[in-house]
Amino acid sequence: MKEMIYSVQKRILNGGSITNNEAMDLLKINDQDPELKDLYKAANEIRQHFQGDAFDLCTIMNIKSGKCSEDCRFCAQSIHFETPAESFPLVDTDAILERAKEMEREGVHRFSLVSSGRGVDPNDFEKLLEIYSRIHKETSLKICASHGIINYDQALQLKEAGVLRYHHNLETSREYYASICTTHSFEERIQTLSACMKAGMEVCSGGILGLGENLEDRLSMAFELKELGVDSIPINILNPIPGTPLEGNVPLKEETILKTIAVYRFIHPKVHLRYAGGRNVLGDAFEKGYQAGINGVLTGNLLTTTGKNIREDKAIVLKNNFTVEVY
């Protein structure tokens, strides 16, 4: 297996790619196999070769929470489930601008506004365009947006307001998606990402590990993202929320998560692989991901769970020999 790991790595470093069968072989390495260290080392070297040591920090602000019409089985904000998640309407413009400027002072690179719902409420859309225009004019932040399913015209207007990147996760594989959500289709998610790309925005799209998917599903999602040509892949780890249908899911093992990160780096040598929600499931072991292909993180408070303090995250990043640049 060690010989295979470095053979595939060499091919990738020379501009080639990994096959689905090879990726599956790597995912199937036993959790106690000492060659896992070789897998992580090889993935980290691929990251270094193609992207260097610059680390990407982004943060989000939940600007509209709860009462979502969709039935995503992991989500605390769905109207279909009784959960402890807070519900509130669109946040005041001044509060959003104040938060953006605070994040700029903290040294994050990207700032994203996130709202609940299937898509953008027409009554909110014009307000959002004004908010994004002001953030663009009054800060140096790279602006991202996450407002569910949107069309090309909406994507174009967001781009013109200063949004550089749109976030919309696939969540899981095409094959498993209907087991996770029934109120909209996997194809509608693909259409949103395609509309954003057509409008000239970068796209950030990944998924959640631990939804009950199998190894084939994890690879299917990874290769679908590769075919789409996404710019950033947030790797979320299910943190089961009481009241959701997945509240009883058993957390994934540490090595299962780290193996998946490393294999995703083999599949995606040139994108930001980003820790997102649920990395606390790994405990102190989450730092191992920084030596297995991770080079981005969603920092600060998340949507319905709490992330790490930005300064704490920056300190850990620097400790792991990355640089946190202002760009």
Closest C-alpha among 97, 139, 136, 89 to residue 115: 89
Can you give the pLDDT at residue 284?
Answer: 84
pLDDT single digits (tens) 23-57: 999 999 999 999 999 999 999 999 999 999 999 99
Can you give the pLDDT at residue 308?
Answer: 61
Phi, psi of 144 (to 5 degrees): -120, 165
Residue 296 predicted with pLDDT over 80 = yes
* Confidence grade of residue 305 (pLDDT, cut at 50, 70, 90): very low
CATH number of the domain that residue 304 is part of: 3.20.20.70
Q: Is residue 183 part of a domain?
A: yes
Range of the domain at 288: 54-319
Q: Is residue 5 part of a domain?
A: no
Mean pLDDT of the chain: 94
Residue 301 predicted with pLDDT over 90 = no
pLDDT single digits (tens) 240-285: 999 999 999 999 999 999 999 999 999 999 999 999 999 988 988 9
Q: Is residue 219 part of a domain?
A: yes
Q: Is the pTM of this model over 0.85?
A: yes
Can you give the pLDDT at residue 306?
Answer: 43
Q: Is residue 123 part of a domain?
A: yes
Give the Cα separation of 226 and 319 in Å (integer). Answer: 30
Give me the residues paired with residue 234 across strands: 274
Joined together, the tokens standing for residue 320 give 């792991």
Helix runs in the chain, H state only: 2-13, 20-27, 36-51, 93-106, 122-138, 152-160, 186-198, 215-228, 254-267, 310-319
Q: Is residue 8 part of a domain?
A: no
Number of domains in the chain: 1
Closest C-alpha among 152, 109, 113, 158 to residue 133: 158
Phi, psi of 55 (to 5 degrees): -110, 140
Residue 302 predicted with pLDDT over 70 = no
Residue 217 predicted with pLDDT over 70 = yes
Average pLDDT over every residue of 163-167? 98
Rg (CA), the chain: 19
